[in-house]
Amino acid sequence: IFPGSKDAAGCKATLGVMGGGQLGRMFVHAAQRLGYFTAVLDPDAQSPAGLVSHHHIQTDYNDPAGLAQLADLCQAITTEFENVPAQALQTLAQTRPVAPGAAVVGIAQDRIEEKDHFAACADISGVTCAPYAVIETPAQLQAVLEERADLLPGILKTARMGYDGKGQVRVRTASELAAAWAELGGVACVLEKMLPLTAECSVLVARGWGGQVVSFAPQRNVHVEGILAVTHAYEGNMPLALATSARDAAIAIAQHLGYVGVLCVEFFVVDNGSAHGGLVVNEMAPRPHNSGHYTLDACDASQFDLQVHAMAGLPLPQPRQHSPAIMLNLLGDVWFDASGQQREPDWHSVLSLPGTHLHLYGKLDARVGRKMGHLTITGPDVASVKTVARRVAELLG
């Protein structure tokens, strides 16, 4: 689907996205830069992507009329939000190319299926996930309480709908585990052993319809209270052997899924001296990812450019990073001072510093913990990027 092409009715090539959050907004920007028209399906009238798209279909994700309208407008459709009902993607796929497809999105939506997939391709990926047990029934809970003391202390995670650390409870003892499962409503969960992490990293892979694969170098991520805070993207951000293993593993995971589109695979690093440098696979996101936002400013093709190319069947460029970068997430917290008073951050001082690239998502109200934007710092060398990043953190602190 080339940007200049028209359909039978004479409408210009239009790309669609399920979900109107910031990832959809950056996708829309990338698609429009190439000359595509865009359509966003999201129920929220003020959604960040809906605000900047040619078309905004304001319905629920599984509204038949909304889905029919999206399919009618678009030559290809993607998703920006992994909790889009897989059934909706299935419906769209009856008449349009949808990438990633409903089956792989369905796997990534469910931690139990996701772990089964990681286990199924462990031989080719070379990585396994943290020790865990599935808890879907009171009987399974009882069995874990009696037989899996090895998983404590651990983290109980809902199998579905978790993100940014939501739907997770840290548990130290059997009685805390039983209470936590009740607190989470007795829904399907996994109990994961708490690992002593030395670092976390992620890898972005893009795969085309014909199986072509390109990837970015792994980025090192720092999370605070389960939410991504900082991404370090430069040579030397982690030992080379670890970066190589992570990249190879992510590609193997995407291949094994027959994935089409941009996939992010998140890893834990534990210092266990194993052959893979202590690499443990955590989870995957069937879409561009917060940890890849630096690619907008530091690479010659961003993760959103690759999403557009992959879904439209254009050749996938192997992206080249031209500048070292640090990405700082801007949560709503930055709009409040220490006494809880709302304030406007000192953007003038921040933007006076060299190599600062501010991205705000157009969200109307700042709330603590809400992702409002991000700031990428690029520079000629890692030392100067780190210096500016420290200064920005002080200004926003």
What residues are designated binding site for ATP?
A: 111, 157, 162-168, 192-195, 200, 223, 282-283
Find the binding residues for ligand ADP in span 259-278 (CB under 6 A).
Answer: 266
Is residue 283 within 8 Å of residue 199, measured between CB atoms? no
Binding mask 115-144 for ligand ADP (x = CB under 6 A): ---------------x--------------
Window contacting ligand ADP (CB under 6 A); options: 66-74, 159-167, 316-324, 347-355? 159-167
Residues 218-257 that bind ligand ADP (CB under 6 A): 223, 226
CB of 66 to ligand ADP, least distance (A): 27
Question: In the range 29-88, which residues lie near ligand ADP by CB under 6 A?
Answer: none
Interface size with ligand ADP, residues (CB under 6 A): 17
Interacting positions 167-196 with ligand ADP (CB under 6 A):
192, 194-195
Characterize the bridge pairing of strands 213-215 and 219-224: unpaired
In the complex, what is the shortest distance from the CB of residue 154 to ligand ADP, in angstroms, rounded to a whole number? 7
- Scanning 23-31, 154-162, 211-219, 328-336 for contacts with ligand ADP by CB under 6 A, the matching segment is 154-162
Among 197, 230, 353, 393, the residue binding ligand ADP under the rule CB under 6 A is 197
| Residue from 43, 85, 165, 362 binding ligand ADP (CB under 6 A) | 165
CB of residue 278 to ligand ADP, shortest distance in Å: 12
Question: 29 vs 157, which CB is nearer to ligand ADP?
Answer: 157
**Smallest gap, in angstroms, from Cβ of residue 26 to ligand ADP?**
19
Prior bond of 85 cis (ω within 30°): no
Q: How far is the CB of 161 from ligand ADP (least distance, A)?
A: 9
Q: Which of 74, 99, 121, 155 touches ligand ADP (CB under 6 A)?
A: 155
Q: Which residues of the chain form contacts with ligand ADP (CB under 6 A)?
A: 130, 155, 157, 162-165, 192, 194-195, 197, 200, 223, 226, 266, 282-283
